[in-house]
A = this chain, B = another copy of it.
Amino acid sequence: MNSLVEENYLKALFLLSNREGEVSVNDLSRHLDIKMPTVTSMIKKLSDKQLVDYQKYKPVKLTIKGRDVAAQIIRKHRLTEMFLVEIMGFGWEEVHDIAEQIEHVKSPRFFSKMDELLHYPTYDPHGSPIPDANGHIPDKEFRQLSKCEIGDTVIFKAVTNSSTAFLKYLNSKELSLDTRLKIVDIE
């Protein structure tokens, strides 16, 4: 079994992977807020466990096995966020930190109960897709707001930043998912 710490590294690797599936040690270090030497040594451990492919001075890549484990953690995180919003009545800006804790619960039953109660959701409250039980992700691609122009009309489908502060800012502008927007100006 993987430790909670190992799970956090795998999750970060999954989320930071570029199209080639690669992540630099530096990126990982910054996102986890853990110094590079620590990251290097943990990567070696994950490599021994066949969860990542690693060669000195090269970016890290999840193996199939590592990707599957990571997808399950992301699945649990996003299911939890959905559960917190839909069943427990939290706001979308409150759930990230709680889900970071609950995603590590060792009990498959716990998460399948959530899934059931939520009627098998495919997106979380921030518009991110929930991997299915096999780790597969429905990969709809949304257009990034930075690639839209003045005059475009778009439907707001997802955020990539789930921090409380940013979501509170959106709340204050009364921006929520599935809102239809006409872009009149760019800040």
Residue on B nearest A105 in the bound complex, by CB: B101
Residues of chain B with a CB closer than 8 A to A113's CB: 88-90
- Residues from chain B with a CB closer than 8 A to the CB of A94 are 109
Give the chain B neighbours of A87 by CB distance below 8 A: 87
Asked if A155 lies at the interface with its beta carbon under 8 angstroms from chain B, I say no
User: What string of 1s and 0s marks CB contacts (under 8 Å) between A93-123 and chain B?
Assistant: 0100110011011110110011001000000
Total contacting residues, chain A, CB less than 8 A = 19
What is the minimal beta-carbon distance from A42 to any residue of chain B, in angstroms? 20
> In the complex, are the beta carbons of B106 and A101 less than 8 A apart?
yes
Instruction: Write the nearest CB–CB distance from A23 to chain B, whole angstroms.
Output: 28
A117-B105 in contact (CB<8A): no
What are 9 A-B contacts with C-beta separation under 8 Å? A84-B110, A88-B110, A88-B113, A88-B117, A90-B109, A94-B109, A98-B105, A98-B110, A101-B106
CB closest residue in chain B, given A83: B88
* Of B90, B97, B102, B107, the contact of A97 (CB 8 Å cutoff): B107
